[in-house]
Structure 1
Amino acid sequence: MRITKFGHACVRIEHEGTVLVLDPGMFTQPEAVDGATAVLITHLHPDHYLADHLRRTDAPVLTVADLAAQIGEEAPDVAERVTTVGPGERFDAGLPVTVVGERHAVIHPELPVPDNAGYLLTVGDTTVYHPGDALAVPEEPVDLLLCPSSAPWLRSEMAVEFVRAVGAPRNLAIHDRIYTEAAHGILAQQMETLVGPRGQEWLRITDGEDLA
Protein backbone atom coordinates (compact mmCIF):
# COMPACT_ATOMS: atom_id res chain seq x y z
CA MET A 1 0.00 0.00 0.00
CA ARG A 2 1.20 3.48 -0.88
CA ILE A 3 -0.58 6.65 0.25
CA THR A 4 0.55 9.99 -1.13
CA LYS A 5 -0.69 13.38 0.05
CA PHE A 6 -1.19 15.91 -2.72
CA GLY A 7 -2.39 19.51 -2.52
CA HIS A 8 -5.07 20.32 0.03
CA ALA A 9 -7.65 17.51 0.24
CA CYS A 10 -6.22 15.21 -2.44
CA VAL A 11 -4.86 11.79 -1.51
CA ARG A 12 -3.65 9.07 -3.87
CA ILE A 13 -3.91 5.44 -2.75
CA GLU A 14 -2.06 2.68 -4.62
CA HIS A 15 -2.47 -1.00 -3.84
CA GLU A 16 -1.88 -4.11 -5.95
CA GLY A 17 -2.36 -2.34 -9.28
CA THR A 18 -5.26 -0.13 -8.21
CA VAL A 19 -4.69 3.63 -8.11
CA LEU A 20 -7.48 5.65 -6.49
CA VAL A 21 -7.25 9.44 -6.43
CA LEU A 22 -9.56 11.31 -4.06
CA ASP A 23 -10.54 14.98 -4.39
CA PRO A 24 -8.10 16.44 -6.95
CA GLY A 25 -9.17 20.09 -6.77
CA MET A 26 -7.76 23.49 -7.62
CA PHE A 27 -4.93 23.27 -5.06
CA THR A 28 -3.86 19.83 -6.32
CA GLN A 29 -0.88 19.15 -8.57
CA PRO A 30 -2.16 17.88 -11.96
CA GLU A 31 0.12 14.84 -11.90
CA ALA A 32 -1.82 13.48 -8.93
CA VAL A 33 -4.26 11.84 -11.36
CA ASP A 34 -1.65 10.32 -13.70
CA GLY A 35 -2.20 6.57 -13.94
CA ALA A 36 -5.40 6.66 -11.89
CA THR A 37 -7.69 3.67 -12.24
CA ALA A 38 -10.56 5.62 -10.63
CA VAL A 39 -11.17 9.11 -9.23
CA LEU A 40 -13.45 9.61 -6.22
CA ILE A 41 -14.76 13.09 -5.47
CA THR A 42 -16.58 13.93 -2.25
CA HIS A 43 -18.43 17.08 -3.37
CA LEU A 44 -18.63 19.96 -5.83
CA HIS A 45 -16.50 22.70 -4.26
CA PRO A 46 -13.54 23.71 -6.45
CA ASP A 47 -10.94 22.87 -3.82
CA HIS A 48 -12.05 19.24 -4.28
CA TYR A 49 -13.02 19.14 -7.96
CA LEU A 50 -11.42 20.59 -11.09
CA ALA A 51 -12.64 19.54 -14.51
CA ASP A 52 -9.21 19.92 -16.10
CA HIS A 53 -7.78 17.32 -13.72
CA LEU A 54 -10.47 14.86 -14.83
CA ARG A 55 -9.65 15.59 -18.47
CA ARG A 56 -6.04 14.59 -17.81
CA THR A 57 -7.11 11.00 -17.10
CA ASP A 58 -9.53 8.59 -18.75
CA ALA A 59 -10.33 6.91 -15.43
CA PRO A 60 -13.94 6.49 -14.25
CA VAL A 61 -15.18 9.18 -11.86
CA LEU A 62 -17.41 8.39 -8.88
CA THR A 63 -19.16 11.20 -7.04
CA VAL A 64 -22.36 12.63 -5.59
CA ALA A 65 -25.47 13.55 -7.56
CA ASP A 66 -25.16 17.35 -7.58
CA LEU A 67 -21.56 17.25 -8.79
CA ALA A 68 -22.45 14.67 -11.44
CA ALA A 69 -25.08 17.10 -12.72
CA GLN A 70 -22.58 19.97 -12.68
CA ILE A 71 -20.04 17.93 -14.64
CA GLY A 72 -22.74 17.15 -17.19
CA GLU A 73 -23.23 20.88 -17.75
CA GLU A 74 -19.65 22.18 -17.68
CA ALA A 75 -17.62 19.16 -18.78
CA PRO A 76 -19.83 16.95 -20.96
CA ASP A 77 -16.70 15.29 -22.35
CA VAL A 78 -16.09 13.88 -18.86
CA ALA A 79 -19.74 13.17 -17.97
CA GLU A 80 -19.88 9.83 -19.77
CA ARG A 81 -17.32 8.46 -17.28
CA VAL A 82 -19.20 9.66 -14.19
CA THR A 83 -21.10 7.33 -11.87
CA THR A 84 -23.27 8.68 -9.05
CA VAL A 85 -22.96 7.20 -5.56
CA GLY A 86 -25.19 7.74 -2.55
CA PRO A 87 -25.30 7.41 1.26
CA GLY A 88 -24.56 3.93 2.58
CA GLU A 89 -23.73 2.56 -0.86
CA ARG A 90 -20.99 -0.04 -1.19
CA PHE A 91 -19.12 -0.40 -4.46
CA ASP A 92 -15.91 -1.76 -5.94
CA ALA A 93 -13.52 0.84 -7.37
CA GLY A 94 -10.66 -1.63 -7.54
CA LEU A 95 -10.81 -1.52 -3.75
CA PRO A 96 -13.96 -1.95 -1.64
CA VAL A 97 -15.55 1.44 -0.83
CA THR A 98 -18.45 2.41 1.42
CA VAL A 99 -20.11 5.85 1.23
CA VAL A 100 -20.44 7.54 4.63
CA GLY A 101 -22.67 10.55 5.29
CA GLU A 102 -24.83 12.63 2.99
CA ARG A 103 -24.28 16.39 3.40
CA HIS A 104 -21.43 18.89 3.60
CA ALA A 105 -20.84 20.57 6.96
CA VAL A 106 -22.74 23.84 7.41
CA ILE A 107 -20.61 26.87 6.54
CA HIS A 108 -23.41 29.39 7.17
CA PRO A 109 -27.17 28.80 7.62
CA GLU A 110 -27.92 31.01 4.61
CA LEU A 111 -25.59 29.15 2.24
CA PRO A 112 -26.68 25.99 0.42
CA VAL A 113 -25.47 22.67 1.83
CA PRO A 114 -24.29 20.42 -1.02
CA ASP A 115 -24.11 16.65 -1.15
CA ASN A 116 -21.01 15.12 0.40
CA ALA A 117 -19.81 11.53 0.27
CA GLY A 118 -17.21 10.33 2.72
CA TYR A 119 -15.33 7.30 1.43
CA LEU A 120 -14.37 4.38 3.66
CA LEU A 121 -11.83 2.26 1.76
CA THR A 122 -10.50 -1.20 2.49
CA VAL A 123 -6.87 -1.23 1.40
CA GLY A 124 -5.52 -4.70 2.13
CA ASP A 125 -5.61 -4.99 5.90
CA THR A 126 -6.04 -1.23 6.42
CA THR A 127 -9.26 0.75 6.55
CA VAL A 128 -8.82 4.34 5.33
CA TYR A 129 -11.47 7.05 5.70
CA HIS A 130 -11.68 10.28 3.68
CA PRO A 131 -14.68 12.25 5.00
CA GLY A 132 -14.65 15.09 2.49
CA ASP A 133 -16.05 18.25 4.08
CA ALA A 134 -18.09 16.64 6.82
CA LEU A 135 -17.62 15.03 10.20
CA ALA A 136 -19.74 11.91 9.71
CA VAL A 137 -18.45 9.03 11.84
CA PRO A 138 -18.39 5.58 10.20
CA GLU A 139 -19.94 2.63 11.95
CA GLU A 140 -16.84 0.51 11.22
CA PRO A 141 -13.40 0.81 12.85
CA VAL A 142 -10.90 3.01 10.99
CA ASP A 143 -7.13 2.49 10.90
CA LEU A 144 -6.22 5.74 9.14
CA LEU A 145 -8.37 8.89 9.21
CA LEU A 146 -7.68 11.56 6.59
CA CYS A 147 -8.82 14.43 8.77
CA PRO A 148 -9.76 17.97 7.65
CA SER A 149 -7.42 20.30 9.50
CA SER A 150 -8.55 23.77 8.41
CA ALA A 151 -11.75 25.02 6.80
CA PRO A 152 -14.32 27.85 7.01
CA TRP A 153 -16.65 25.39 8.74
CA LEU A 154 -14.11 23.85 11.15
CA ARG A 155 -12.82 24.86 14.59
CA SER A 156 -9.86 23.03 16.10
CA GLU A 157 -12.21 21.75 18.82
CA MET A 158 -14.31 20.09 16.11
CA ALA A 159 -11.27 18.43 14.54
CA VAL A 160 -10.13 17.11 17.92
CA GLU A 161 -13.56 15.69 18.76
CA PHE A 162 -13.83 14.12 15.28
CA VAL A 163 -10.49 12.37 15.73
CA ARG A 164 -11.66 11.13 19.14
CA ALA A 165 -15.02 9.95 17.78
CA VAL A 166 -13.56 8.04 14.83
CA GLY A 167 -10.90 6.54 17.08
CA ALA A 168 -8.29 5.80 14.41
CA PRO A 169 -4.77 5.15 15.72
CA ARG A 170 -3.29 7.23 12.86
CA ASN A 171 -4.70 10.55 11.67
CA LEU A 172 -3.30 12.38 8.64
CA ALA A 173 -4.04 16.09 8.25
CA ILE A 174 -5.64 17.01 4.92
CA HIS A 175 -7.68 20.03 3.78
CA ASP A 176 -4.76 22.15 4.94
CA ARG A 177 -4.61 25.21 2.68
CA ILE A 178 -6.63 27.50 4.96
CA TYR A 179 -4.26 27.73 7.92
CA THR A 180 -0.76 29.20 8.01
CA GLU A 181 2.11 26.92 9.01
CA ALA A 182 2.07 28.55 12.45
CA ALA A 183 -1.61 27.71 12.87
CA HIS A 184 -0.99 24.11 11.84
CA GLY A 185 1.68 23.99 14.52
CA ILE A 186 -0.87 25.09 17.11
CA LEU A 187 -3.33 22.44 15.95
CA ALA A 188 -0.61 19.80 16.14
CA GLN A 189 0.13 20.82 19.75
CA GLN A 190 -3.57 20.56 20.61
CA MET A 191 -3.80 17.14 19.01
CA GLU A 192 -0.71 15.93 20.87
CA THR A 193 -2.20 17.12 24.15
CA LEU A 194 -5.77 15.97 23.62
CA VAL A 195 -5.60 12.80 21.50
CA GLY A 196 -2.00 11.68 21.99
CA PRO A 197 -2.67 10.24 25.46
CA ARG A 198 -5.39 8.09 23.87
CA GLY A 199 -2.79 6.43 21.66
CA GLN A 200 -3.85 8.39 18.58
CA GLU A 201 -1.16 9.85 16.34
CA TRP A 202 -1.56 13.17 14.48
CA LEU A 203 0.51 13.46 11.29
CA ARG A 204 1.02 16.12 8.64
CA ILE A 205 3.19 15.59 5.58
CA THR A 206 4.12 17.81 2.64
CA ASP A 207 2.51 17.75 -0.80
CA GLY A 208 3.84 14.86 -2.86
CA GLU A 209 5.12 13.01 0.20
CA ASP A 210 4.21 9.40 0.94
CA LEU A 211 2.85 8.40 4.32
CA ALA A 212 5.50 6.28 6.02
Structure 2
Amino acid sequence: MKMIKKGHACVRLEKDGRALVVDPGAFTEQDAAAGADAILVTHEHLDHFDEGRLRAALDANPEARIWTLRSVADRIAAAFPGRVTTVGHGDTFTAAGFDVQVHGELHAVIHPDIPRITNVGFLVDGSVFHPGDALTVPDQSVETLLLPVHAPWNKFSEVADYVRAVSPARAYAVHDGLLNDLGLSVYARNLGPGGVTTGAEYARLLPGESVRLA
Protein backbone atom coordinates (compact mmCIF):
# COMPACT_ATOMS: atom_id res chain seq x y z
CA MET A 1 0.00 0.00 0.00
CA LYS A 2 1.22 3.49 -0.83
CA MET A 3 0.21 6.39 1.41
CA ILE A 4 0.37 9.98 0.19
CA LYS A 5 0.05 12.82 2.67
CA LYS A 6 -2.24 15.58 1.56
CA GLY A 7 -2.84 18.88 3.34
CA HIS A 8 -3.93 18.95 6.99
CA ALA A 9 -5.97 15.83 7.90
CA CYS A 10 -6.22 14.23 4.44
CA VAL A 11 -4.39 11.15 3.21
CA ARG A 12 -4.59 9.13 0.01
CA LEU A 13 -4.06 5.36 0.01
CA GLU A 14 -3.28 3.49 -3.21
CA LYS A 15 -3.29 -0.24 -3.86
CA ASP A 16 -3.67 -2.40 -6.98
CA GLY A 17 -4.32 0.62 -9.17
CA ARG A 18 -7.12 2.01 -7.01
CA ALA A 19 -7.23 4.94 -4.61
CA LEU A 20 -9.01 5.70 -1.33
CA VAL A 21 -8.98 9.22 0.13
CA VAL A 22 -9.82 10.12 3.73
CA ASP A 23 -11.07 13.57 4.79
CA PRO A 24 -10.50 15.88 1.82
CA GLY A 25 -11.58 18.98 3.69
CA ALA A 26 -11.30 22.70 3.08
CA PHE A 27 -7.77 22.95 4.53
CA THR A 28 -6.33 20.51 2.00
CA GLU A 29 -5.57 20.85 -1.71
CA GLN A 30 -8.44 21.66 -4.06
CA ASP A 31 -7.79 18.44 -5.99
CA ALA A 32 -7.13 16.27 -2.91
CA ALA A 33 -9.83 13.76 -3.87
CA ALA A 34 -9.17 13.84 -7.62
CA GLY A 35 -8.96 10.33 -9.09
CA ALA A 36 -10.30 8.67 -5.97
CA ASP A 37 -12.34 5.49 -6.28
CA ALA A 38 -13.56 5.74 -2.68
CA ILE A 39 -13.76 8.62 -0.21
CA LEU A 40 -14.16 8.31 3.57
CA VAL A 41 -15.27 11.26 5.70
CA THR A 42 -14.89 11.08 9.49
CA HIS A 43 -17.15 14.01 10.45
CA GLU A 44 -18.77 17.25 9.38
CA HIS A 45 -16.19 19.90 10.30
CA LEU A 46 -15.00 21.88 7.29
CA ASP A 47 -11.36 20.87 7.64
CA HIS A 48 -12.44 17.27 7.05
CA PHE A 49 -15.53 17.64 4.86
CA ASP A 50 -15.90 19.90 1.83
CA GLU A 51 -18.77 19.25 -0.54
CA GLY A 52 -17.05 20.98 -3.46
CA ARG A 53 -14.06 18.67 -3.30
CA LEU A 54 -16.35 15.64 -3.07
CA ARG A 55 -18.43 16.82 -6.01
CA ALA A 56 -15.36 17.34 -8.19
CA ALA A 57 -14.10 13.83 -7.41
CA LEU A 58 -17.45 12.14 -8.06
CA ASP A 59 -18.04 14.10 -11.26
CA ALA A 60 -14.62 13.02 -12.52
CA ASN A 61 -15.18 9.33 -11.70
CA PRO A 62 -18.75 8.02 -12.12
CA GLU A 63 -17.78 4.88 -10.18
CA ALA A 64 -16.47 6.74 -7.13
CA ARG A 65 -18.36 6.32 -3.87
CA ILE A 66 -18.44 7.95 -0.41
CA TRP A 67 -18.67 6.27 3.00
CA THR A 68 -19.38 8.48 5.99
CA LEU A 69 -21.40 8.89 9.17
CA ARG A 70 -25.04 10.01 9.18
CA SER A 71 -24.45 13.71 9.94
CA VAL A 72 -22.46 14.07 6.71
CA ALA A 73 -24.52 11.62 4.65
CA ASP A 74 -27.70 13.55 5.41
CA ARG A 75 -26.11 16.67 3.91
CA ILE A 76 -24.86 15.16 0.67
CA ALA A 77 -26.89 12.05 -0.18
CA ALA A 78 -29.41 14.01 -2.24
CA ALA A 79 -26.60 15.53 -4.31
CA PHE A 80 -25.03 12.12 -4.98
CA PRO A 81 -27.96 9.66 -5.22
CA GLY A 82 -26.95 6.06 -4.73
CA ARG A 83 -23.31 6.94 -4.14
CA VAL A 84 -23.23 7.68 -0.39
CA THR A 85 -23.23 4.93 2.24
CA THR A 86 -23.90 5.71 5.90
CA VAL A 87 -21.70 3.85 8.39
CA GLY A 88 -21.21 3.79 12.14
CA HIS A 89 -19.20 2.20 14.91
CA GLY A 90 -18.74 -1.54 14.42
CA ASP A 91 -19.53 -1.54 10.70
CA THR A 92 -17.24 -3.19 8.16
CA PHE A 93 -17.22 -2.70 4.41
CA THR A 94 -15.05 -2.90 1.31
CA ALA A 95 -14.26 0.29 -0.60
CA ALA A 96 -12.21 0.24 -3.80
CA GLY A 97 -10.63 -3.04 -2.76
CA PHE A 98 -9.74 -1.84 0.74
CA ASP A 99 -11.26 -3.54 3.79
CA VAL A 100 -12.49 -0.90 6.24
CA GLN A 101 -13.64 -1.11 9.85
CA VAL A 102 -15.41 1.75 11.64
CA HIS A 103 -14.41 2.70 15.19
CA GLY A 104 -15.69 5.43 17.47
CA GLU A 105 -18.81 7.55 17.82
CA LEU A 106 -18.05 11.03 19.17
CA HIS A 107 -15.81 13.98 18.37
CA ALA A 108 -13.38 14.92 21.14
CA VAL A 109 -14.57 17.63 23.54
CA ILE A 110 -13.53 21.08 22.31
CA HIS A 111 -15.13 22.94 25.23
CA PRO A 112 -18.00 22.02 27.56
CA ASP A 113 -20.07 24.87 26.09
CA ILE A 114 -19.61 23.68 22.50
CA PRO A 115 -22.05 20.92 21.53
CA ARG A 116 -20.30 17.63 20.86
CA ILE A 117 -20.82 16.14 17.41
CA THR A 118 -20.39 12.62 16.05
CA ASN A 119 -17.12 11.32 14.61
CA VAL A 120 -15.91 7.98 13.34
CA GLY A 121 -12.46 6.57 12.69
CA PHE A 122 -11.52 4.24 9.86
CA LEU A 123 -9.16 1.26 10.11
CA VAL A 124 -8.05 0.37 6.58
CA ASP A 125 -6.88 -3.13 5.71
CA GLY A 126 -6.50 -3.86 9.41
CA SER A 127 -3.40 -1.69 9.40
CA VAL A 128 -3.84 2.06 8.91
CA PHE A 129 -6.07 3.96 11.37
CA HIS A 130 -7.40 7.47 10.82
CA PRO A 131 -9.28 8.55 13.97
CA GLY A 132 -10.70 11.80 12.64
CA ASP A 133 -11.09 14.29 15.50
CA ALA A 134 -11.00 11.88 18.41
CA LEU A 135 -8.54 9.81 20.37
CA THR A 136 -10.31 6.53 19.72
CA VAL A 137 -8.36 3.39 20.60
CA PRO A 138 -9.42 0.48 18.36
CA ASP A 139 -9.93 -2.86 20.03
CA GLN A 140 -7.26 -4.45 17.85
CA SER A 141 -3.66 -3.82 16.88
CA VAL A 142 -2.76 -0.95 14.55
CA GLU A 143 0.41 -0.87 12.48
CA THR A 144 0.17 2.73 11.26
CA LEU A 145 -1.57 5.44 13.25
CA LEU A 146 -2.47 8.71 11.56
CA LEU A 147 -1.89 10.93 14.56
CA PRO A 148 -3.83 14.21 14.99
CA VAL A 149 -0.98 16.19 16.45
CA HIS A 150 -2.61 19.58 16.88
CA ALA A 151 -6.20 20.79 17.23
CA PRO A 152 -8.38 23.05 19.40
CA TRP A 153 -9.50 19.92 21.24
CA ASN A 154 -6.18 18.37 22.24
CA LYS A 155 -2.95 19.03 24.09
CA PHE A 156 0.45 17.42 23.76
CA SER A 157 0.19 15.12 26.77
CA GLU A 158 -3.02 13.65 25.33
CA VAL A 159 -1.39 13.14 21.95
CA ALA A 160 1.58 11.36 23.50
CA ASP A 161 -0.59 9.18 25.73
CA TYR A 162 -2.75 8.32 22.72
CA VAL A 163 0.25 6.92 20.87
CA ARG A 164 1.10 4.87 23.94
CA ALA A 165 -2.48 3.57 24.21
CA VAL A 166 -2.75 2.55 20.54
CA SER A 167 0.84 1.25 20.51
CA PRO A 168 1.34 1.31 16.73
CA ALA A 169 4.56 0.39 14.98
CA ARG A 170 4.61 3.87 13.47
CA ALA A 171 2.72 7.16 13.75
CA TYR A 172 2.46 9.73 10.97
CA ALA A 173 1.38 13.27 11.75
CA VAL A 174 -1.93 14.53 10.43
CA HIS A 175 -4.15 17.42 11.51
CA ASP A 176 -1.10 19.65 11.34
CA GLY A 177 -2.36 22.48 9.14
CA LEU A 178 -2.48 25.04 11.95
CA LEU A 179 1.16 24.56 13.00
CA ASN A 180 4.08 26.61 11.72
CA ASP A 181 7.61 25.28 11.35
CA LEU A 182 8.49 26.10 14.95
CA GLY A 183 5.52 24.16 16.28
CA LEU A 184 6.21 21.23 13.99
CA SER A 185 9.80 21.06 15.24
CA VAL A 186 8.60 20.93 18.85
CA TYR A 187 6.29 18.01 18.06
CA ALA A 188 9.04 16.21 16.15
CA ARG A 189 11.44 16.58 19.07
CA ASN A 190 8.98 15.32 21.65
CA LEU A 191 7.40 12.54 19.59
CA GLY A 192 10.53 11.41 17.76
CA PRO A 193 13.57 9.45 18.95
CA GLY A 194 14.21 10.09 22.61
CA GLY A 195 10.75 11.56 23.06
CA VAL A 196 7.96 10.46 25.35
CA THR A 197 6.18 7.96 23.08
CA THR A 198 7.71 4.54 23.53
CA GLY A 199 8.11 2.00 20.77
CA ALA A 200 6.40 3.85 17.92
CA GLU A 201 8.37 5.42 15.08
CA TYR A 202 7.15 8.99 14.51
CA ALA A 203 7.38 10.88 11.23
CA ARG A 204 5.71 13.75 9.41
CA LEU A 205 5.30 13.75 5.66
CA LEU A 206 5.06 17.01 3.78
CA PRO A 207 1.98 17.40 1.58
CA GLY A 208 2.64 15.40 -1.56
CA GLU A 209 5.20 13.11 0.04
CA SER A 210 4.52 9.39 0.12
CA VAL A 211 5.61 6.23 1.86
CA ARG A 212 5.18 2.52 1.18
CA LEU A 213 3.43 0.57 3.92
CA ALA A 214 3.67 -3.18 4.37
List aligned pairs for 1:59-138, cutoff 5 A: 59-72=64-77, 76-93=78-95, 94-122=97-125, 127-138=127-138
Residues 54 and 78 in structure 1, CA contact (< 8 A), matched pair in contact too: no
When the two structures are superposed, what TM-score results if normalisation uses the length of structure 1? 0.92
Q: Which moved more, 1:91-100 or 1:41-50?
A: 91-100
Residues 39 and 62 in structure 1, CA contact (< 8 A), matched pair in contact too: yes
What is the deviation of 1:189?
Answer: 1.2
What is the deviation of 1:145?
Answer: 0.3
SS of match in other structure, 1:108: coil
SS of match in other structure, 2:127: strand
What is the deviation of 1:199?
Answer: 2.6
Change in 2 beyond 3 A, CA 1:92/1:142: same
Query: Where does residue 2 of structure 1 map in the other structure?
Result: 2
Change in 2 beyond 3 A, CA 1:56/1:170: same
Tell me which amino acid in the other structure corresponds to 2:136: A
What is the deviation of 1:43?
Answer: 0.1
Residues 107 and 119 in structure 2, CA contact (< 8 A), matched pair in contact too: yes
Residue by residue over 1:3-57, the C-alpha shift from the partner in whole angstroms, topping out at 9 and shown as x without a partner, is 0000100000001133100000001112221221110000000000111111112
Tell me which amino acid in the other structure corresponds to 1:118: G
SS of match in other structure, 2:57: coil
What is the deviation of 1:79?
Answer: 5.0
Residues 43 and 63 in structure 1, CA contact (< 8 A), matched pair in contact too: yes
Query: Where does residue 46 of structure 1 map in the other structure?
Result: 46
Residue by residue over 1:136-174, the C-alpha shift from the partner in whole angstroms, topping out at 9 and shown as x without a partner, is 101111110000011000101111001111101110000
Large movers: runs of 4+ above 6 Å: none
Tell me which amino acid in the other structure corresponds to 1:49: F
Is the helix fraction higher in 1 or 2? Answer: 1
Output the CA distance in 2 between the equivalents of 1:120 and 1:108: 27
What RMSD over aligned residues (CA atoms) do the two structures have, in Å?
1.3
Corresponding residue pairs, total: 204
* Structure 1 residue ranges without an equivalent (≥5): none
Tell me which amino acid in the other structure corresponds to 1:70: R
Output the CA distance in 1 between the equivalents of 2:145 and 2:109: 21
Residues 41 and 62 in structure 1, CA contact (< 8 A), matched pair in contact too: yes
Confirm or deny that 1:19 pairs with 2:19.
Answer: yes
SS of match in other structure, 1:208: coil
Residue by residue over 1:120-143, the C-alpha shift from the partner in whole angstroms, topping out at 9 and shown as x without a partner, is 011xxx700000000010111111
What is the deviation of 1:86?
Answer: 0.7
Query: Where does residue 61 of structure 2 map in the other structure?
Result: none
What is the deviation of 1:71?
Answer: 2.2
What is the deviation of 1:109?
Answer: 1.1
Query: Where does residue 205 of structure 1 map in the other structure?
Result: 205
Tell me which amino acid in the other structure corresponds to 2:139: E
